[in-house]
Chains A and B, each alone.
Chain A
Amino acid sequence: GAVVSQHPSRVICKSGTSVKIECRSLDFQATTMFWYRQFPKQSLMLMATSNEGSKATYEQGVEKDKFLINHASLTLSTLTVTSAHPEDSSFYICSASRGGITDTQYFGPGTRLTVL
C-alpha cells in the first residue's frame, strides 16, 4: 500500500501561538511531499512542495515565513503555522509521492486547525 498519516487530526489553538502538523509516509519513502489547504466545500489549494533535504517551494501568495515547511527525512514533513490567526483556520492536507515521472500522490487524512 501507500499510507500517509497526519498528526494531529484536529487542533485548537489561541491566536498568536504556533502549531506544528506532521505528515508521515508509513510504508514508502517520499521524495516529495505536498501541503494543501482546503476551505469548506472547496477544492484543494496547493500551498507548497517540498523535496527531502531541500527548501520548500511555495505557491504564489503563500507566506513562507508564516507557513514553515521542513522535510528532513524521506518519511516525514512538517508544516508549522507560526503566529496563527483566526483566518488561518482551515483543513490542511498533506500528500506524498515517491517521486519520479510516473508516481502518484497519496494523501494524508488531513488536519483541522481552529484558531480562536
Chain B
Amino acid sequence: AQTVTQSQPEMSVQEAETVTLSCTYDTSENNYYLFWYKQPPSRQMILVIRQEAYKQQNATENRFSVNFQKAAKSFSLKISDSQLGDTAMYFCAFMTGTGSGGSNYKLTFGKGTLLTVNP
C-alpha cells in the first residue's frame, strides 16, 4: 500500500518570501505520479503541480516548483514570492494505476499542511 507523509501540519511565511513544504511517500511501484493540490478556505481543491516519476526534471509552474528525489522518495513544494492568496491547506498526493482507457487511478493524499501567508 502507498503512504504519503506530510510532516508539517502548519507553516507560515511572510509575503514575498519563499517557503518549502515537505512530502515523503512510500511505494514499491516504479511508475507513478505525484501531485500537490491546494485547498483554500473555499474548500475547492486546485491542482498546483504534477510530476511524473519517470521524468528526472523537476516540474515548475510559475512561482511553484518541486524538488523530486526519487531515490529518497521525497517530493517537496517550493513557493516563491509568496502571496496572500497562497494561504491554504496544501495536500501532497500520489497516484498509480495499471491498464489504460477507463482504468482506475487512485489518489492517496497526505494529511496536509496548512500554510498561512502573513502580510
**Residue B91 is within 8 A (CB to CB) of chain A in the complex:** yes
| A-binding residues in B (CB < 8 A) | 35, 37, 42-47, 50, 52, 91, 95, 97, 100-107, 109-112
B111 CB contact (under 8 Å) in A43, A102, A110? A43
Q: How far is the CA of A34 from the CA of B97 in the complex (A)?
A: 14
Interface pairs A-B: 3 shortest CB-CB:
A107-B45, A49-B104, A43-B109
Given the known inter-chain contacts A44-B91, A100-B100, please indicate yes or no for A110 contacting B109, CB distance below 8 A.
Answer: no
Given A32-B103, A106-B47, 13 more A-B residue pairs with CB atoms under 8 Å apart are A32-B105, A43-B91, A43-B109, A44-B45, A46-B107, A51-B102, A99-B103, A101-B97, A105-B107, A107-B45, A109-B42, A110-B43, A110-B45
| B-binding residues in A (CB < 8 A) | 31-32, 34, 38, 42-44, 46, 49, 51-52, 54, 57, 91, 93, 95, 97, 99-107, 109-110
Prevailing SS type, chain B contact patch: loop
Residues of B contacting A57 in the complex (Cβ-Cβ under 8 angstroms): 104
Q: Name the residue in A43, A49, A103 with the highest tally of chain B Cβ atoms < 10 Å from its Cβ.
A: A43
Do A52 and B102 have beta carbons less than 8 Å apart? yes
Residues of A contacting B45 in the complex (Cβ-Cβ under 8 angstroms): 44, 93, 95, 107, 110
Residues of A contacting B102 in the complex (Cβ-Cβ under 8 angstroms): 31-32, 51-52, 54, 99
How close is B77's CB to chain A, nearest CB, in angstroms?
16
Nearest-CB residue, chain A, relative to B99: A101
